[in-house]
């Protein structure tokens, strides 16, 4: 019985499928093979995409210009910083287009291995520091001075902070001196490692929504700051060399000049793509705008780049190779 029904069903399905397909197959466009011809002398240009939106904004704009103006074939590779730097030596990565400090990597790959070179500033300034949600800055105006942090330590107590105030740290990719800072500034706080940027963002977002206290490590430019404008706590001002000994740091983080790093062979070849990367320079506002298109307006990086480039032809002109 069951097999009989099965047979009927199967036969029916197969007949109707064949019929339907034959009918529909008559229409529709055929697939043409593409010409593999490359235009221009740019060739293939490989950008590493480090995992944050601001970086993606830089990369998307550079890629868009390289493709449309210079006729390059752009390959994007999603990689963490370390692995991207490794790629310079093996010829698998041409450029990193937003680099936060990383003196250790610069020493290893630029000075020792000589596989990478610096391609100058992106024009974007990076600020790292301790932040509180805006409602706290309003309610406790003097909290933005580190001298008062101990006064408020009990507000920041959690199950994780062992009876002290909690200072939340994020993605371990970023430079942090926070444990040393807490110790050297005599603060009654415990560093708790969130371990990832999404966890950190979620903590700040919830703190602002529910008016809960949170003190955490954050950085600018970051798209989240245009959703909630976190307020920076002032640590003792940075002075040249005050962070030389990581054990004894007792000052704020320096302002980072975010720069571009390219592979040595890419720079030596001095092709149009290299010249574009070398000339590329814009501002925090520019990057934030493109990052906002991506993170909040849900555009793809390509669409976001196209939109910005159309509105900023003059800036783009200045990046193009002079020939």
- Contacting another protein within 129-148 (CB under 8 A): none
3-class DSSP assignment, residue 181: helix
Q: At what angle do helices 301-311 and 284-295 cross, to 10 degrees?
A: 140
> Least distance from C-beta 88 to another protein, angstroms?
11
Question: With binding defined as CB under 8 A, does residue 92 bind another protein?
Answer: yes
Nearest to 90 by CA among 269, 261, 259, 263: 263
3-class DSSP assignment, residue 239: coil
Residue from the set 38, 41, 78, 268 that interacts with another protein by CB under 8 A: 78
Stretch that binds another protein, among 85-93, 135-143, 268-276, 281-289 (CB under 8 A): 85-93
The count of residues interacting with another protein (CB under 8 A) is 74
Residue labelled with tokens 């007792």: 250
Tokens of residue 112, six digits:
């020792």
Q: Are 52 and 80 in contact (CB under 8 A)?
A: no
Nearer to another protein (CB atom), residue 90 or residue 323? 90
Stretch that binds another protein, among 26-34, 122-130, 263-271, 302-310 (CB under 8 A): 26-34
Hey, which residues does 96 pair with through a beta bridge?
261
Question: With binding defined as CB under 8 A, does residue 246 bind another protein?
Answer: yes
Q: Tell me the Cα Rg of the chain.
A: 26
Question: With binding defined as CB under 8 A, does residue 241 bind another protein?
Answer: no
Question: With binding defined as CB under 8 A, does residue 194 bind another protein?
Answer: yes
Stretch that binds another protein, among 65-73, 127-135, 140-148, 192-200 (CB under 8 A): 192-200
Question: With binding defined as CB under 8 A, does residue 167 bind another protein?
Answer: no
> Least distance from C-beta 3 to another protein, angstroms?
5
Measure the CA–CA gap between 193 and 308, rounded to whole angstroms.
36
Residue labelled with tokens 């990076």: 126
Binders in 49-68 for another protein, by CB under 8 A: 51-53, 56
Question: With binding defined as CB under 8 A, does residue 86 bind another protein?
Answer: yes
Question: With binding defined as CB under 8 A, does residue 215 bind another protein?
Answer: no
Question: With binding defined as CB under 8 A, does residue 17 bind another protein?
Answer: yes
Question: With binding defined as CB under 8 A, does residue 21 bind another protein?
Answer: yes
Positive or negative: CA dihedral 128, 133, 138, 141: negative
Nearer to another protein (CB atom), residue 11 or residue 311? 11
Residue from the set 117, 137, 294, 309 that interacts with another protein by CB under 8 A: 294
Nearer to another protein (CB atom), residue 76 or residue 315? 76
CA dihedral 231, 235, 240, 243 (to 10 degrees): -110
Stretch that binds another protein, among 140-148, 250-258, 266-274, 295-303 (CB under 8 A): 295-303
Q: How many residues does the chain have?
A: 323
Q: Using CB under 8 A as the criterion, what x/- string covers residues 248-277 for binding another protein?
A: ------------------------------
Query: Rounded to a whole number, what is the distance in angstroms from the first to the last CA of the chain?
Result: 81
Q: Dump the DSSP string for 134-157.
A: HHHHHHSGGGGBGGGGGGGGGGG-
């Amino acid at each position: 019985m069951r097999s009989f029904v099965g047979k009927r069903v199967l036969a029916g399905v197969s007949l109707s499928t064949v019929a339907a397909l034959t009918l529909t197959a008559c229409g529709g466009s055929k697939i043409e093979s593409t010409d593999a011809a490359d235009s221009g002398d740019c060739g293939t240009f490989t950008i590493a995409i480090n995992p944050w939106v601001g970086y993606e904004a830089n990369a998307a704009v550079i890629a868009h210009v390289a493709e449309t103006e210079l006729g390059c074939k752009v390959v994007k590779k999603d990689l963490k910083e370390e692995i991207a730097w490794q790629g310079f030596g093996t010829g698998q990565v041409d450029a990193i287009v937003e680099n936060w400090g990383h003196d250790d990597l610069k020493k290893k790959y630029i000075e020792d291995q000589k596989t990478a070179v610096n391609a100058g500033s992106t024009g974007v300034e990076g600020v790292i520091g301790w932040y509180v949600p805006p409602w706290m800055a309003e309610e406790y105006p003097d909290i933005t001075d580190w001298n008062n942090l101990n006064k408020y330590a009990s507000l920041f107590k959690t199950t994780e902070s062992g009876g002290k105030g909690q200072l939340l740290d994020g993605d371990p990719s970023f430079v942090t001196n926070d444990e040393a800072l807490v110790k050297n500034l005599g603060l009654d706080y415990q560093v708790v490692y969130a371990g990832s940027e999404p966890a950190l963002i979620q903590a700040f977002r919830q703190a602002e929504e529910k008016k809960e206290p949170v003190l955490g490590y954050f950085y600018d430019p970051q798209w989240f700051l245009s959703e909630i404008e976190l307020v920076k706590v002032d640590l003792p001002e940075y002075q040249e060399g005050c962070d030389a000994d990581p054990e004894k740091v007792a000052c704020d983080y320096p302002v980072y000049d975010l720069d571009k790093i390219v592979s040595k062979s890419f720079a030596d070849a001095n092709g149009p793509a290299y010249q574009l990367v070398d000339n590329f320079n814009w501002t925090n506002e520019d990057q934030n705008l493109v990052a906002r298109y991506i993170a909040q307006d849900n555009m793809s990086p390509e669409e976001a780049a196209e939109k910005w480039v159309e509105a900023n032809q003059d800036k783009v002109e200045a990046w193009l190779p002079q020939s």
